[in-house]
Amino acid sequence: MSLDLKEIDGLMLAQAIQQHELFRELPLALLSAQTNIGQRLSASGMGGEALLAKPVNPELLFAAVARRLRQGRGLYRKFSQLSNRDTVSGLYNRPYFLVHLNRALVATSASAQPLAIMLIALDNLRALENQDVAAADDVVEQAAKRLQAVLGSGPIASRFGDALFMVLLGFASQEALLAKRGRCKPRWKPNPIG
């Protein structure tokens, strides 16, 4: 977008575009022949946008646009991942789990693949939380790490409630499912505190 417009201040227009809800995440490549535009961009809070001097070298313009698009996709993936994760445990959150459960049920009915849900409750977490919220968060975080270590990357593990984890997993046989549960069980023995 050219900042050297005759009818309107190009910098004000760029700011107005970024303030609009639909265009807030739109990466901008700004073009200008003005010598002081870099200072004005920084002062306006738009210093992170790509600024190219006129006349524009097409290769530089292409590289700047490609870089801004990559940055935008990376941020989108990061925000998307963060919005699907519980902040304390790092596991998927309840809405993400429910969406995947629904998809898995539809796929299972079509393919007749067995599917299981494992429910894991953390005993006495509420009592600990009433005494020390940070300690309760540590317990949840450690329990989630243990669960992920036992399950590996295949099953979808989520924090379904304050003291409740849900795991969605496929299995080849009932024996395999019981073996997986058995591998989880010893890991949940409480560690002595204090």
Domain containing residue 98: CATH number = 3.30.70.270
Min mean pLDDT across 72-86, 88-102, 114-128, 137-151 is at 72-86
Do residues 130 and 151 both lie within one domain? Answer: yes
Q: Is residue 37 in some structural domain?
A: yes
Do residues 132 and 158 both lie within one domain? Answer: yes
Q: What's the total number of domains in the chain?
A: 2
Tell me the average pLDDT of the chain: 78
- Report residue 159: phi and psi, to 5°: -90, 110
State pTM to two decimals. Answer: 0.53
- Residue-wise pLDDT for 93-133, tens only, equals 999 999 999 988 888 777 777 888 999 888 888 888 888 88
β-pairing, 115-121 vs 29-32, is: unpaired
Q: Is residue 3 in some structural domain?
A: no
Q: Is residue 192 in some structural domain?
A: no
Do residues 59 and 98 both lie within one domain? Answer: no
Residues 6+ apart with CB under 8 A from 142: none
Q: 23 lies in which domain range?
A: 10-82
